[in-house]
Amino acid sequence: MVYYRMMQLDIQNPFGAPVYFEEILSSTMDESRILANRNEPHGTVLAADFQEKGRGRIPGRPWIMDKGLNLSFTILLRYKDFSAIPQALTLRAGLAVLLAIEDFAPPLGDRVQIKWPNDIMVDSKKVSGILTEGDGKNMFIGIGVNVGQKEFPEPLQNRAVSIFQALNVEEIPDRFDLLEKILGHLYSELNTGFSSWQSRLTDRLYKKGEMVRFIKGHADSGQMVEGRLSGIGPKGELLIIPQGEKDPLSFITGELDFYPY
């Protein structure tokens, strides 16, 4: 990255920090670490038109989007130490993305949900993914949103959707308008003492009350739990009541089976 040439987007960032934009880079996750090392402030955003090595939450799974149509960015959040990092940061960022999508595309309204722990769904298809990384003090929240993607490759066709597709409109929506709205909601979620995130999230939880299959730990652990998804705990953990039992088990890592149970 050539910093002295880095462009800034002219959009509102309530964190009061720059919003950088690069046409092509490896991954905004990696490049944001460089921004952190050169003391860029809390709330600095780095967006890219295209990432050559965009990555998802599951190791080895790339995050690929067509150039110039979608949103890929990382926001750097700086905390004085580990204890100051807000709980359930990924889920709360997800809630901010969900609310921003609703603001941005009102017809999608009730069609947007959060799939624990890091996916935003529209009509049961993934519209956005969130990847949170950290080094104990700096947190890097990477957000990818399918805004104007016109089609997806075969394996993703039934699992992914863009806002453009879901709205069924002629014109590609303005992705930087959405970015501004995401920053606004994220700022409110993290700074204005919204203590009700747990219940607001639970209300919008994908498959809440339904039978699900859950893979414990790593995606290939082979350890499966089947039961009813009952909600989210105070630390953002997923609660599942196993079949034939009364009390929920709670999980901090794992993967919900994507397909309907």
Residue ranges in contact with ligand BTN by CB under 6 A = 27-29, 51, 54-57, 63, 72-74, 118-119, 129-131, 142-144
Q: Indicate the residue among 75 and 240 with the shorter CB distance to ligand BTN.
A: 75
| Sheet containing strand 44-51, strands side by side | 7-8, 19-25, 44-51, 71-78, 138-145, 125-134, 119-122, 112-115
Q: Indicate the residue among 28 and 198 with the shorter CB distance to ligand BTN.
A: 28
Q: How far is the CB of 140 from ligand BTN (least distance, A)?
A: 8
Q: Indicate the residue among 29 and 183 with the shorter CB distance to ligand BTN.
A: 29
232: nearest Cα among 116, 80, 69: 116
Q: Indicate the residue among 15 and 228 with the shorter CB distance to ligand BTN.
A: 15
Instruction: Kindly write down the DSSP assignment for every residue of 225-253, as one continuous string.
Output: EEEEEEEE-TTS-EEEEETT-SSPEEESS
Q: Which residues pair with 256 in a beta bridge?
A: 214
Distance CA 202, CA 11 (A): 31
Q: Indicate the residue among 138 and 230 with the shorter CB distance to ligand BTN.
A: 138
The answer to whether 169 touches 144, Cβ cutoff 8 Å, is no
Task: Let me know how long the chain is.
Answer: 261
Alpha carbon 134 to its chain centroid, in Å, reads: 15
Phi, psi of 238 (to 5 degrees): -85, 135
Q: Indicate the residue among 119 and 237 with the shorter CB distance to ligand BTN.
A: 119
Q: How far is the CB of 224 from ligand BTN (least distance, A)?
A: 20
Element (H, E) at 34: helix 28-37
Q: How far is the CB of 161 from ligand BTN (least distance, A)?
A: 14
- The residue with its CB nearest to ligand BTN is 129
Q: How far is the CB of 228 from ligand BTN (least distance, A)?
A: 25
Q: How far is the CB of 28 from ligand BTN (least distance, A)?
A: 4
Q: How far is the CB of 247 from ligand BTN (least distance, A)?
A: 30
Distance CA 113, CA 83 (A): 29
